[in-house]
Amino acid sequence: MADVRILAIGQKMPAWVQAGCADYLPRFRHQFRVLLDEIPASKKSGALAQADHQARLFERIKSTDFLVLLDERGRQWNTESLAEQLTRWELSGRSLVFAIGGADGWNAAARERADAVWSLSSLVFPHPLARLIVIEQLYRADSVRQGHPYHRS
């Protein structure tokens, strides 16, 4: 069984984000369980917030974790390619961790530590919405890997 962790900056999400996460998280199959963990947002801004978030992220991950950082400078995949990436990442034998940054994004140290950097779109999404999109896209990509019809909906 693979436990996949999503570490997301920010707490006290709007009700619609909580409802969306509560809807998708139980859908994952037992062999690909996704866990959401929140990291408190820094009260600082800009580079200081980035440094705080990077430090808090590094406290929560192991050196052996396969870290996929969500960042606008990352690589974009279509659904089928993301499904293939998930399989490759799982085959690394390392625990998968997806990290969603705060309003100021990630600093260079966080991007350097990342094993992969994923951009959801050329558009920039607010981090509460990004959280829901990541969960849904992981569910969709895993559904593709299973041959489940969800992807066709």
**pLDDT per residue over 119-138, tens digit each?**
999 998 888 999 999 999 99
pLDDT for position 149: 75
DSSP letter string over 112-150? HH-SEEE-S-SS---HHHHHHHHHHHHHHHHHHHHT-GG
When the pLDDT of each residue in the chain is averaged and rounded to a whole number, the result is: 93
State the pLDDT at residue 31. Answer: 82
The yes-or-no verdict on residue 151 having pLDDT over 60 is: no
- pTM for this one? 0.94
CATH superfamily placement of domain 2-152: SPOUT methyltransferase, trefoil knot domain (3.40.1280.10)
Query: Is a pLDDT exceeding 80 seen at residue 150?
Result: no
Percent of the chain with pLDDT over 90: 83
- Average pLDDT of 73-78? 95
Q: Where are the domains of the chain?
A: 2-152
pLDDT of 127 reads: 86
Q: Is residue 81 scored above 60 in pLDDT?
A: yes
> Token digits for 76?
């974009």
- pLDDT category at 107 given cuts 50, 70, 90 is very high
Is the pLDDT confidence value at 152 over 70?
A: no
Q: Let me know: does 145 contact 29? Beta carbons within 8 Å.
A: no
Question: Is the pLDDT higher at 126 or at 75?
Answer: 75
* Helix (DSSP H) and strand (DSSP E) numbers for the chain: 5, 5
